[in-house]
Structures are given as C-alpha cells and as structure tokens.
Amino acid sequence: MPIVEIRILEGRSDADKEALIQNVTLAVGESLNVPVERVRVLIQELPHKHWAVGGHTMDKLRR
C-alpha cells in the first residue's frame, strides 16, 4: 500500500486539495501498477510562520 505524504503551506481551498489528492492518487496507482483503492495520500498544512526559505519565514517574506 503506497503512502504519499505532502506538505503544503496553509491557505489553499478544499477543492484544490481534493484535486491534488485525486491527481496524486491516479499518478501513484498508474506508476506503481496498484489499484487506486490501495493508495493513501496524507496532506499536512503548515502555517506560513513554520515554513522558511533562506532563513526567513514565509510569513515575513509575504509582507
């Protein structure tokens, strides 16, 4: 059973996350030749203050 973990910044719509789950599920199922019912997708949303690039949080970079 493939398990895919995805970390994204919070703020995307439920529809966008649903589309991501569906697309990733199909891609993994096809790539690994497994039924999509066996694919698990976990999304973890992180606040902008917990995601940093170049030593600066995304919260500060967005300002």
- pLDDT tens-digit profile, the chain (63 residues): 999 999 999 999 999 999 999 999 999 999 999 999 999 999 999 999 999 999 999 988 888
- Is the CA virtual torsion 50, 55, 56, 58 positive or negative? negative
CA separation for the pair 58, 63 (Å, rounded): 9
* Residue 16: Cβ-neighbour burial (10 angstroms; 0-12, 13-18, 19+): exposed
Point out the catalytic residue in the list 2, 8, 41, 51: 2
The answer to whether residue 35 is catalytic is no
Domain ranges of the chain: 3-61
**pLDDT of amino acid 62:** 85
- The second-level CATH assignment, the architecture, of 3-61 is 2-Layer Sandwich (3.30)
